[in-house]
């Protein structure tokens, strides 16, 4: 730490009469970095809104309720919104309980063995696996393995179906749910646990009455954030067969058929429209769909923040 006493440091900071140019320059540089981030964000939003707002304003709710079409003036995102919400619901039902249970196991039940360290390492690695690789997992396990042999040849998942996509996204966000839940559980003071054990509670009773309630805010926030991640994912859906064409409709299906049937989602529609040559798809409809997607993901994130704030105040 010899470097700390630089010759210039003493007089400057002690007298305070001369301006610390190096310090100011550094401050300016890092402030510029932060501002650049915000400038990118602002430009992005401005570009998307100038491109897409016209469609939303002209078409209004029609854009939100119309089906896919080859004609830009009729095409809408109804099926995409429905697909995205169903996928998100599926992730909530499949990934949250499993992820939270895994976190409880790791933090409350598992001893510090070689095995539990392996599980932890594995989860950290899974969190870093690119989403497109999860798409391949979904393709070979959910679409192919579980999706091809049953009476109707469509298997349990129905092949390239909403169910396959939803399962894939669930697997994708699972490590994120586990990691955020683990962090929240770890943040629960152990004195609370010890108190409960002291009163004769079993491990499960401690988890149920002490750990989960106190970690709830953090778990919830992580869960909702992972939901918004799932809403924005595109690559795994391409691989698990989200619809990439111009027209499809699936009227009057039972819920089971919907799950095992064709689907699309907002990011897929954006991908498809952005690749169209017709400039109205590329430059008007795609950004309009982006606005819808951003609105949904931002609502999701805002809900997380609000829930957390609300909960923390109540507790």
Partner 1 sequence: MTVATNANPNLLVGSRRRQRREDAIRGVFLTAGLSSMLISVAIVFSLLGESVSFLNNIELSSLWTSGWFPRQGKFDLSTLFVGSLIVTGVAMIIAAPLGLGAAVFLAEYAPTRVRKILKPILEILAGIPSIVLGFFAFRWIAPNVVQNLSDQATLFSLMSAGIGVGILVTPLVASVSEDALRAVPRTLREASYGVGARKVTTTLRVVFPAAISGIVASLILATSRAIGETMVVALAAGGSGGTQFTSNPFDEGQTITAAMAALAAGTDAVAGGGGTGAGAAFQSLFFLGLLLFLITLLLNFVADRVVRRLREAY
Partner 2 sequence: MLIRTQRVTRVAALGLTAAMIFAACGGDDEPDDNGGDTPSGLTGSVVVSGSSTVEPITSLVAELFAEDNPDVDIRVDGPGTGDGFQLFCQGETDISDASRPIKDEEATNCADTGIEFVELKVAIDGLSVVTSLNNDAVDCLSFADLYALVGPESEDFETWSDANDLGAEVGGSGDYPDAPLDITAPGAESGTYDSFIEIALGDIAEARLEAGAITEDQVETVRPDYSSQSNDNQIVSGIAGSDASLGWVGYAFASENADQVRSLEVDGGDGCVAADPDTIASGDYPLARDLYIYVSKASIAEKPEVAAFVDFYLTEDGSTSVADSGYVQLNDEAWQATVDAWTAAKG
Q: Which residues sit at the interface with partner 2, rule CB under 8 A? A: 69-71, 74, 78, 82, 85-86, 88-90, 92-93, 192, 209-210, 212-214, 216, 220, 243-253, 255, 258, 261-262, 274-279, 282, 307, 311, 314-315
**Minimum separation from the CB atom of position 12 to partner 1 (A):** 6
181 neighbors 103 (Cβ within 8 angstroms):
yes
Nearer to partner 1, 64 or 98 (CB): 98
Work out the angle between the directed axes of helices 212-232 and 266-274 (0-180°, nearest 10): 20
Report the partner that residue 261 touches, choosing among partner 2, partner 1, none (CB closer than 5 to 8 A by kind): partner 2
Nearer to partner 1, 40 or 256 (CB): 40
Q: 3-state class of 242 per DSSP?
A: coil
Nearer to partner 1, 63 or 142 (CB): 142
**Minimum separation from the CB atom of position 53 to partner 2 (A):** 21
Report the partner that residue 74 touches, choosing among partner 1, partner 2, none (CB closer than 5 to 8 A by kind): partner 2
**Minimum separation from the CB atom of position 82 to partner 1 (A):** 18
186, with CB counted inside 10 A (0-12, 13-18, 19+), is middle
**Minimum separation from the CB atom of position 111 to partner 1 (A):** 6
Task: Count Cβ atoms below 10 Å from residue 190 Cβ, excluding itself.
Answer: 10
Q: 3-state SS string over 15-40?
A: HCCCCCHHHHHHHHHHHHHHHHHHHH
Please tell me the distance from the alpha carbon of residue 136 to that of residue 270, in angstroms, as a whole number: 21
**Minimum separation from the CB atom of position 255 to partner 1 (A):** 25
Nearer to partner 2, 33 or 277 (CB): 277
- Which residues, in sequence order, are CB contacts of 149 under 8 Å at separation 6+? 155
Report the partner that residue 130 touches, choosing among partner 2, partner 1, none (CB closer than 5 to 8 A by kind): partner 1
Nearer to partner 1, 197 or 311 (CB): 197
**Minimum separation from the CB atom of position 283 to partner 1 (A):** 8
Tokens of 74: 């009729």
CA 43 to chain CA mean position, Å: 23
118 neighbors 125 (Cβ within 8 angstroms):
no
């Amino acid at each position: 730490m010899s470097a700390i006493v630089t010759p210039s440091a003493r007089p400057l900071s002690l007298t305070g009469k001369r301006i610390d140019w190096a310090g100011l320059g550094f401050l300016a540089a890092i402030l510029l970095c932060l501002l650049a981030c915000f400038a990118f964000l602002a430009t992005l939003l401005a570009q998307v809104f100038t491109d897409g707002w016209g469609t939303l304003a002209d078409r209004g709710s029609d854009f939100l309720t119309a089906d896919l079409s080859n004609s830009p003036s009729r095409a809408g995102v109804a099926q995409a919104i429905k697909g995205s919400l169903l996928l998100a619901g599926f992730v909530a039902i499949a990934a949250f309980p499993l992820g939270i249970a895994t976190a409880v196991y790791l933090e409350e039940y598992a001893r510090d063995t070689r095995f539990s360290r392996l599980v932890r390492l594995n989860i950290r690695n899974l969190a870093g696996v690119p989403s497109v690789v999860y798409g391949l997992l979904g393709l070979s396990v959910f679409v192919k393995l579980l999706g091809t042999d049953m009476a109707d040849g469509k298997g349990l998942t129905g092949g390239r179906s909403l169910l396959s996509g939803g399962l894939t996204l669930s697997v994708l966000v699972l490590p994120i749910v586990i990691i955020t839940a683990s962090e929240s559980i770890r943040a629960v003071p152990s004195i609370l646990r010890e108190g409960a054990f002291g009163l004769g509670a079993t491990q499960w009773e401690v988890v149920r009455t002490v750990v989960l309630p106190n970690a709830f805010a953090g778990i919830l926030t992580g869960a909702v954030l992972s939901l918004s991640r799932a809403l924005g994912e595109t690559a795994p859906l391409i691989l698990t067969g989200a619809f990439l064409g111009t027209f499809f409709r699936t009227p009057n299906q039972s819920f089971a058929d919907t799950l095992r049937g064709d689907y699309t989602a907002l990011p897929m529609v954006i991908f498809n429209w952005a690749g169209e040559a017709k400039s109205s798809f590329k430059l008007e409809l795609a950004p309009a769909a982006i606005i819808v997607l951003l609105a949904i993901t931002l609502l999701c994130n805002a809900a997380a923040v609000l829930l957390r704030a609300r909960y923390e105040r109540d507790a």
